[in-house]
A and B are shown apart, each in its own frame.
Chain A
Amino acid sequence: LFQMSKQLDMFKTNLEEFASKHKQEIRKNPEFRVQFQDMCATIGVDPLASGKGFWSEMLGVGDFYYELGVQIIEVCLALKHRNGGLITLEELHQQVLKGRGKFAQDVSQDDLLRAIKKLKVLGNGFGIIPVGGTYLIQSVPAELNMDHTVVLQLAEKKGYVTVGEIRSSLKWETERAKQVLEHLLKEGMAWLDTQAAGDPQYWLPALFTELHSQEITPEEAKEAIP
């Protein structure tokens, strides 16, 4: 143990040196951050585990991601009533950037994903669902199992899905499709359009691109601050 203590001190010195030369890179360069994170993961180190870790203290990575966590929570809370707690990574990215203002450091989608992975431990139901080429971020403790996820992925292409489409693409029975869709409706993650020509359409507000550019209203912003 004593040996470890000594090696730890040495490592700390090395890290300090590294930080003095390259701290800026980490803060300014999202690609460098990705490399850094990947390397840490490969050797079994989690630089974001604790604010008291060397990585956080000396490189400032911690503060960057933990603050991002706060911003992500706020955006999700503000928009929850619109989209039921599901939001695309793109929209989240846009809204977070808006909130950060012009002079803040650049934030990439990879950064957001890492911050969200850390937030999961708070028990608020944060989840990451791969759809299409991107991700849907869940921020409420609603239970979404494999069936729900698959339907979400199907809906991602057009923003909506019908029972008929589910039956033909996934080869499910009507009952199974209906159960999944009703669950999404109940959770507020899907809206039903019965006036569409043909099958009723289940739309996902999270995927409405038109809504994406809408600012967060003052009422919504109030929701976001505990």
Chain B
Amino acid sequence: VRFDSGVLLLSTHRLIWRDQKNHECCMSLPLSQVVFIEEQAAGIGKSAKIVVHLHPSSSNKEPGPFQSSKYSYIKLSFKEHGQIEFYRRLSEEMTHRRWENMPTGQTIQVNKDPQAGRIRAVGIVGIERKLEEKRKETDKNISEAFEDLSKLMEKAKEMVELSKSIANKIKEKQGDITEDETIRFKSYLLSMGIANPVTRETYGSGTQYHMQLAKQLAGILQTPLEERGGIMSLTEVYCLVNRARGLELLSPEDLVNACKMLESLKLPLRLRIFDSGVMVIELQSHNEEEMVAAALETVSEKGSLTADEFAKLVGMSVLLAKERLLLAEKMGHLCRDDSVEGLRFYPNLFLTQS
């Protein structure tokens, strides 16, 4: 049968199938016509199916896709998913047989309604109509929104142009602009979301906002850092801080820019970037190199360790555990054994036993 690619709906009274591409094409089957249903499991090249066995059609049946068929059943093929759930629901409906209790007046074809003048928009047809209306309403809103958006973007574009011209002037008159003005300009750019065309590395891309943020972070992160052995990855910090905030979250860039200022503001935390690119926040009092000595002991005790094993032993995240072991290797304390089974670290006997 050439009816494929559609949506199957189950109501208390009927099965409805609607073509996904051609919305006009819609079929329904009263559940009262169903004798029983069975499942056919999926196989290679075959999708899961439900076979619906039917009563012979009654004489007052509405016209359908076929006048007659030599089969007394139809097969519903679930190419993507949903067979199990649908079978369960259909079985339920078959058990309850609710269509016998409720008058079929509840599900109507609008045009043929004998109660002329009173269009009861209930049942599937009603729901579909409401959805259609809502869709039209949404479309109208969207087009208005798009218009307004375009106008807004025009104005935003002007702002971008203006900022470029200012940036150029700054470049030309290098000495003329004050520190204060630079800071203000940067904050304007930040508000608009315009990338800083003038790279003045005094505070990186930081602004007053980031300075304040840095100080806040120093306060917020002190305890969590202590609880985690003095070091946390920047992703951990991002999650921690934003979850605590709930609203007015920090963007990843905000966080990085603030952290870049930690050291220059002489705060008790600092940003550290490992060779791999992994970024962490450490307590000033934290000395990763000292931790390496402890790591070496741990590895020696066990003979050898992978990053996963070390992480579990010490109670660190795997990411940071790996960085510590890599640092130890860089410092010459550990050797690696890089095989298909993973990266394993051994105490560097070349150094100690030569």
> A and B: real partners?
yes
List residues of A whose CB falls within 8 A of some B CB: 1, 3-5, 7-8, 10-12, 14-15, 18, 21-22, 25, 29, 31-32, 35-36, 39-40, 42-57, 62-63, 65-67, 69-70, 73-74, 80, 118-125, 140-141, 182, 185-186, 188, 192, 225-226
Give B212-253 as 1s and 0s: 1 = Cβ < 8 Å from A's Cβ atoms. Answer: 000000000000000010001111101110110001111111
Would A70 and B238 be within 8 Å (CB), given that A35-B146, A51-B249, A63-B247 are in contact? yes
Q: Are A186 and B340 in contact (CB under 8 A)?
A: yes
A192 partner residues in chain B, CB cutoff 8 A: 340
**A185-B342 Cα distance, complex, nearest whole Å:** 8
How far apart are B193's CB and chain A's nearest CB, in angstroms? 5
Ranked 7 nearest A-B pairs via Cβ: A123-B279, A226-B236, A66-B249, A43-B157, A124-B235, A46-B193, A53-B193
**A122-B159 Cα distance, complex, nearest whole Å:** 29
**A35-B142 Cα distance, complex, nearest whole Å:** 11
How far apart are B25's CB and chain A's nearest CB, in angstroms? 26
**Is there a chain A Cβ closer than 8 Å to B8's Cβ?**
no
**Is there a chain A Cβ closer than 8 Å to B95's Cβ?**
no
A67 partner residues in chain B, CB cutoff 8 A: 242, 249
**A140-B150 Cα distance, complex, nearest whole Å:** 39
6 contacts between A and B (CB under 8 A): A5-B184, A44-B195, A119-B252, A123-B277, A123-B278, A226-B236
B163 partner residues in chain A, CB cutoff 8 A: 4
**Is there a chain A Cβ closer than 8 Å to B185's Cβ?**
yes
Q: Which residue of A lies closest to B240 (CB)?
A: A226
A48 partner residues in chain B, CB cutoff 8 A: 193, 251
B193 partner residues in chain A, CB cutoff 8 A: 40, 45-50, 53-55
Q: Are B253 and A124 in contact (CB under 8 A)?
A: no
**Is there a chain A Cβ closer than 8 Å to B254's Cβ?**
yes
Would A52 and B243 be within 8 Å (CB), given that A1-B166, A43-B156, A124-B278 are in contact? no
Chain A interface, >50% SS class: helix
Q: Which residue of A lies closest to B273 (CB)?
A: A123
Would A35 and B149 be within 8 Å (CB), given that A54-B191, A63-B247 are in contact? yes
**A123-B319 Cα distance, complex, nearest whole Å:** 12
Pick the contact of B243: A15, A70, A140 (CB < 8 A): A70
**A55-B191 Cα distance, complex, nearest whole Å:** 8
Q: Are B190 and A118 in contact (CB under 8 A)?
A: no
**A43-B252 Cα distance, complex, nearest whole Å:** 22
Pick the contact of A8: B188, B242, B243, B273 (CB < 8 A): B188
Would A11 and B251 be within 8 Å (CB), given that A22-B145, A44-B195, A73-B238 are in contact? no
B250 partner residues in chain A, CB cutoff 8 A: 51, 66
A74 partner residues in chain B, CB cutoff 8 A: 239
Q: Are B149 and A18 in contact (CB under 8 A)?
A: yes
**Residue in B155, B238, B252, B339 whose Cβ sees the most chain A Cβ within 10 Å:** B252
Q: Are B192 and A7 in contact (CB under 8 A)?
A: no
B278 partner residues in chain A, CB cutoff 8 A: 123-125, 141
How far apart are A116's CB and chain B's nearest CB, in angstroms? 10
Pick the contact of B251: A36, A56, A186 (CB < 8 A): A56
**Is there a chain A Cβ closer than 8 Å to B194's Cβ?**
yes
**Residue in A39, A51, A53, A186 whose Cβ sees the most chain B Cβ within 10 Å:** A51
Question: Which B residues from 128 to 187 make CB contacts under 8 A with A?
Answer: 138, 141-142, 144-146, 148-150, 152-153, 155-160, 162-163, 166, 181, 184-185
How far apart are B208's CB and chain A's nearest CB, in angstroms? 10
**A8-B162 Cα distance, complex, nearest whole Å:** 10
**A66-B246 Cα distance, complex, nearest whole Å:** 11
A47 partner residues in chain B, CB cutoff 8 A: 193
